[in-house]
Each structure stands twice: as C-alpha cells, then as structure tokens.
Homo-oligomer: A and B are copies of this chain.
Amino acid sequence: MANKIETLHFRSDAFSCDFKRELSYDILGRDILNCAENHASKRGFGFSDLLKANHSWVLSRLSIEMKVMPPIYSNYHIDTWIESVYRMFTNRNFCIKNDAGEVYGYARSIWAMIDNTTRQPLDLMSIYGEEFQQWLGPEIPCEMEPHSRLRPLVDVEPVSTIEAKYSDLDCNGHFNSIKYISHILDLFSKDFYTEHRIRRAELAYVAEAYYGDELSFFVKEQEPLLYQVEIRKHFSRDGKGETIARGLVGFV
C-alpha cells in the first residue's frame, strides 16, 4: 500500500502562518497541489511527462476539510494517492498529518486530462486506464464528505471585484487555482476569523481566467456559517458574465 501513497514533508514556520498563528490556507493549498504533481511525476504521469504527448492535467475540483490547522512552528506531512479513475476524471485524495500521525485534515480533488491543442478532454481510461490500476487506493481512508453539489448563484451582486495581476498567475499563465481560494477567504473580515475557523473550503473550476481579466466575487449565506461563492469574469450589471469557479466555504 505504501507504494500507492507519496508523502511530502513541510513546516509551518512563522512567515507561513496567518494572524491566528496557524498555517496559511493558501500555503496549505499550494502544498497539496505540489504533492499531487510530485506523486504523479514519480509514477511517470506528471506535467512534464504529459507534455511529451501534448497533454495536460486540469484541476476540476478541490475540497479541503481541516479539523485542526497545523499550528505555528510545527511539522506537517501530506500523503496523496489516487482513489479511482474514470473515463473523463480521476479522483486524487490527500491526508494532512502531524508528526505523531494524527490527522489534521483531508482533501479531495478531481482532475481531467486535456489535449493542449484542441483543449478537449481526453479519455483517461484508454490512455492510462491499465497503468493506473496498480496505483488505485480506494481502500485508503479519506474521512471527509464528498464534493458538494454546487448550484449557480442567482440574483446576487458582486461583493468584490479584482483585476488578475502578475502574482495571480500560475506556471501556465492561468489564474492560479489556489489564488482563487485566497481571494475568496479575503472576502471575510479579520474579526470573523477571530471568532471562527475554516472547516471546509471547496471549489469547482469551471473556466480559466487570464492576466488582466476582471473577476467579480459573489457570496450567499446558504445556512449559518456556510457560504456559497461564485467567481465570474467580465460581470456587468447588464450581463451575468462568465462563471470561472463556484465554491463553498464552511466555518465553525
């Protein structure tokens, strides 16, 4: 089973923490995605490997559920493995632990593979179906809820609008998947974070955003401490804009 899991090791140093003296959510998010890439590249299907065939991984869903955030000056370890593979998607899970092996939290992600020229999704089963079988770990526990069903928000006005800047871009020149989460978390006040902590954050990536795009953020309280969020590109009062991502942030 160890062979199915790949682990990377991190430390929540002072400058990696938020004002609550806990690991910053965006750093955790970035570490999680780097773990995904590390697991894949060690097995021959990382970004660089796929590039040879003019293919890319595209992150479709990411959900993170933390019981406790790593406190300042502590080690944390992220396991990742592939739960399952289907024709159009593969499910990759994560477990975040402390030195004693106690679980801080889990994460789930869904990835599709596209052809870089046509930007069309590829049939994972026909390309990697056979090879992936040896890596599948559906029996490895991922004790968090599945991804939520995320419905479009209607009749809402943007609470914030930003322009995509240099530091928002990832290594492909797209808006960085984790930076969406950062901007969403920035919609809540410092006082709110003093009272509450993030229990769960999830995002469905619908379309890409690029440098200079104007992104509007929408929030709706679904139930107490559970917020639906949506990010739209080029929203105007006349039109609805194009949905870039939909998500859910839950606090306790």
Q: Which residues of A contact B (CB under 8 A)?
A: 13-19, 21, 24, 26, 30, 33-34, 37-38, 47-48, 72-73, 165-167, 169-173, 176-178, 182, 185-186, 188-190, 193, 211-212
Contact = CB atoms under 8 A, between A and B. Distances in A.
B190 A15 contact: no
A14 B171 contact: yes
A226 to B, nearest CB: 18
A75 to B, nearest CB: 13
Copies in the complex: 2
A176 B190 CA distance: 14
A48 B186 CA distance: 28
Nearest to A162: B162
A186 B171 contact: no
Contacts of A72: 171
B19 A169 contact: yes
Contact of A15 (B15, B30, B167, B186): B30
B15 A178 contact: yes
Given A14-B33, A17-B170, 10 more contacts: A14-B37, A14-B47, A15-B34, A15-B171, A15-B176, A15-B178, A18-B171, A19-B172, A26-B167, A72-B171
A213 to B, nearest CB: 11
Given A38-B13, A190-B212, A212-B190, A169 B18 contact: yes
B26 A14 contact: no
B170 A186 contact: no
Nearest to A35: B13
Contacts of A47: 14
Contacts of A178: 15
A244 to B, nearest CB: 17
